[in-house]
Amino acid sequence: MSAHFEPIAAPPKLLPDRADVVIVGGGIMGLAIAWNLARLGQQRIVVVEKSYLCSGASGRNGGGVRAQWSSETNVRLMKRSIELCSDFATKMRINVWFRRGGYLFLARSDERAKQLEESARLQRDHGLPTRIVDRAEMKEIVPELDVSRFVAASWNPHDGVVFPWPFVWGYARACEKLGVALHTHTDVREIETTNGRVSGVVTSRGRIATDRVLVCAGAWSPEITRMVGVELPSHPHRHEICSSEPLKPFLRPLVGDLADGLYFSQSMRGEIVGGISNAKVPDGIDQRSSLRFLGLYSRALSRAMPVLGEVKILRQWAGCYDITPDGNPLVGDVDEVPGMYLMSGFMGHGFMMAPVMGELFARWLLQGEERELFERWNLRRYRLGKLLSETMILG
């Protein structure tokens, strides 16, 4: 077979010694921002990624994309993000297998059902078709579901699921087309400051002089800011997920149980992909798989969908959530270190937020728009004691 293959791999590109913006982390956030900045005319953008693309949470997530949230900000942002997701394949010319099968959020108690009802009302005020459904209707949406333990569910047929890998590649390719220098296998080791301001980034492949650093390192973000003595309130937490053997398409929505954090959907490849909360996992960067997770998940899943009992789990893996105490991200400038910006703390929902946050961050940085959002979600809220809340979180 070797006879007809000529070596064609391009050698690794040279790392530039100067940049206007250095983005740390080539996950979905870093790439979405890089692309949006480049679109708005920003020159000399460098993205540095310590491993391969898709190695972080962006290559390890469930691909759920929903506008069912309990806070006005999240509803508004996700409405826009879903719009961007539905255009992505055409615009970026890559199949991201976006499928709008809806999200069905199950409630086990009247209290939770009431919360869902309030959120649904808020979502309807923003033009979404979310409504609360009873057991009979749950059965209509997912006939295989054992609804006996649930009192109600919140249902938005417009929510959906994407396949994360091509989404990352789509942004990466589009970035390179606009002249963004993307360097994988390049580890950021040090952030240099001069008179307290950012002046450079030292990587495993050389130094880049710059006065702007964007920290998009997901669960590793506290490690990066610690290089300049800034402690973030967020911390990494392992979250596991698995997929089954492929089945014929039968399951329409992503189903989520807010009580135990169980969620599952059927991917366009036919697999049942899902996860569950696992409270006993200690904090820290840890991407190993555990048997305990498989036990927890399988028990909860076979109770919710007994028919799946005979289905086999094919593979499991793990990634890290970047957890903040109030469940909202850390974005915008860092008061202590001029020239440093954050785009982190996206918990278990950063993938769906990336299209809209990339767009807004670029506009905020270059054109000064969306000040209110970048003020509200700024790191300084912790210093000022202005914490926010969001109740519709899986994980």
> Which range binds another protein by CB under 8 A, 29-37, 115-123, 127-135, 242-250?
242-250
The answer to whether 151 touches 108, Cβ cutoff 8 Å, is: yes
Burial class (CB in 10 A: 0-12, 13-18, 19+), 156: buried
d(CA 51, CA 30): 14
Residue with tokens 């506009």: 363
- Cβ-based nearer residue to ligand FAD, 60 or 158: 60
Tokens of 191: 């952030």
**Is position 248 an interface residue for another protein (rule: CB under 8 A)?**
no
Q: Which stretch binds another protein (CB under 8 A): 53-61, 112-120, 230-238, 373-381?
A: 53-61
Count of residues in contact with another protein, rule CB under 8 A: 46
**How far, in Å, CA of 172 to CA of 80, rounded?**
21
Which range of residues in 37-45, 143-151, 314-322, 371-379 is near ligand FAD by CB under 6 A?
Answer: 314-322
* CA 380/CA 23 separation, integer angstroms: 21
Hey, CA dihedral for 395, 68, 357, 26, is it positive or negative? positive
Tell me the closest approach of the beta carbon of residue 168 to ligand FAD, in angstroms: 8
Cβ contacts of 370 within 8 Å, gap of 6 or more: 360, 363, 364
> What residue 236 binds from another protein, ligand FAD, none (CB within 5 to 8 A, per partner kind)?
none
- 345 is written with which tokens? 């703390």
Closest listed residue to residue 269, CA positions, set 97, 27, 17, 58: 97
Which residue, 107 or 394, has its beta carbon nearer to ligand FAD? 394
Site track 35-54 with ligand FAD (rule: CB under 6 A), x = hit: -------------xxxx---
Question: For residue 179, what are the contacts with CB-CB under 8 A and spacing of at least 6?
Answer: 38, 43, 45
Burial of 11 (0-12, 13-18, 19+ CB in 10 A): exposed
Least distance in angstroms from the C-beta of 40 to another protein: 25
CB-nearer residue toward another protein: 267 or 378: 267
Tokens of 341: 């910006």
Calpha distance 204→87 (Å, rounded):
37
User: What is the distance between the alpha carbons of residues 17 and 181, in angstroms, rounded to a whole number?
Assistant: 12
- Contact pick of 120, 141, 215, 296 for another protein (by CB under 8 A): 296
* CB of 29 vs another protein, minimal distance in Å: 18
Closest CA to 321 of 236, 227, 229: 236
Residue 281 per-residue DSSP state: P
Residue 43 token pair = 């020159």
Among 160, 166, 218, 236, binds ligand FAD (CB under 6 A): 218
Q: Shortest Cβ distance from residue 37 to ligand FAD (Å)?
A: 15
**Window contacting ligand FAD (CB under 6 A); options: 27-35, 100-108, 137-145, 148-156:** 27-35
Residue number, 47 or 113, with CB nearest to ligand FAD: 47
Nearer to ligand FAD, 112 or 183 (CB): 183
Of 348, 355, 365, 392, which one interacts with ligand FAD (CB under 6 A)?
348
| Among positions 73, 86, 289, 391, the unique one binding another protein when judged by CB under 8 A | 289
239 binding partner (options ligand FAD, another protein, none; Cβ < 5 to 8 Å by kind): ligand FAD
**Residues near ligand FAD, by CB under 6 A:** 24-30, 48-51, 55-58, 60-64, 187-188, 216-220, 224, 239, 241, 275, 319-321, 346, 348-352
**Residues near another protein, by CB under 8 A:** 1-2, 5-10, 12, 51-55, 59, 165, 169, 173, 184-185, 244-246, 260, 279, 289, 291-292, 294-299, 301-302, 308-317
